[in-house]
Structure 1
């Protein structure tokens, strides 16, 4: 009799365990951990917040497209772009390349190149292109160097060797490499550790805003997103951690490096543009309720520095959109901006 009770108890417990996992999976975690209803962003998945996910499919409805290097066949280039995931379609969704708005709105031929080394950033890549003679082959009228704001100082505010060069063969081989390959989500069965994590974090969200170390979740004073959690801001903790890098010395060196590059390009008749993508925290911080974090002053400091390059102030442009009540300028579940931000930015930036 005892054996039968144990067996019966085990089967009931097993059934309850399977039923619980299946219920959590179908109601919540299948949407987060797979692309069953469309791809979403890392922030919602890492923070286990189903209500922040904004599914999106890649679509293009603009009249002109930019070129990737594999498509380049010696055409005349108006603008060359070099940057990180913001420049390489990392946000996904509709018109995920800002370069397509640049091409369409200004009737320009735009070529996008990837960074040669992630650690050194886009300016180091441009130095190699310049010194190797490869930039002369492309002969753009303008170059846009783009970086995510939180690591702008790390990439541009460090001592750089302006003499670095590679052979033409090495540059050519690097340019043939894929610029950006999105990481595919691993296959997940309905019984998985994510189900328990979801339940665990759901309970913790009842008593605190941000139970995970990586993803911070804060309440906004008004809804800025078109999802269930429309008045919640999700952003990486790195947005806060990297504020300490913005020392006066580093900002001056960043500006000096850009001015030096602008002078080198000007000798070849090329205009340099610098476009830091405003951090999500930085853009929305004035709308956070009881914000416990220090302000990000990167753009305010940049505005006061003497420049011989063109500065694309993405914070000022997009902040005006927020004041007008624009929603989903950034994806609610991602660290990237949406097509709405790309369109707004390149309607205002002029290329002469």
Structure 2
């Protein structure tokens, strides 16, 4: 089979060994795989897969099950999407059966490939770790990203108003169309957030450069969840603000969580979130697809920080991408 590998800051579609399908696992013939910022880091050698994981790229995919290991509760032919620690951009993947979800009713395989990573990330960090309650105010930095798009829709669906910071007026309009109450364009001024807060929860992939602002706009008992370091890793922290406001600062990653944790997260996602797709209250926000041969072009577009929504690479053109 073939898989996508990062090589000296670029990607190559290379021959790879076909993995065995053991007990508790399923083999998926991959139709499409979603792109994420972690892929950019792995391509550059800055974010290697966890020990024992596939050396190839990709955190999420969708396709059709073609082999079921002993004890796995799936059938050959099931249309599914999956969350992986790595290796999703391949013709085949073998994955823990508990990390597989059915394709939501009414969605194509291409759309489903854009779901697992971003919705799992948004649900984990906003609802599980930050414990968002209905009516609490949320601020999502990089609101037009894949995770941001998922977060906005989830907050709206579960009764919490959400504001965003974004890179352009067009991306702000995109977020407002998804359900954001408003926001700011970072190239103009982030200080306008002070008039929109205080916020109970902040979802932040930026990190250090937004640190002082986040501390300022958080409400008493607010939760700041850091999921990335696009804006650096160090800043001067005023602990008096943390104490005075009783703030929680939570660092979070999903990729290196253990299999049991991910299984429970996806079980909750299937119960609480997946039905909202068939109800039309959530959508994948798939903006563009690329053939796998153009994966470098897709990653370059993602790196340009102008994408509103999700990009997906198409791997198996003969696998049906139409809805059920």
**TM-score of the superposition, structure 1-length normalised?**
0.28
**TM-score of the superposition, structure 2-length normalised?**
0.30
| Higher share of residues assigned strand | 2
Larger radius of gyration: 1
State the structure with bigger RCO (CA 8 A, min sep 6), 1 or 2.
1
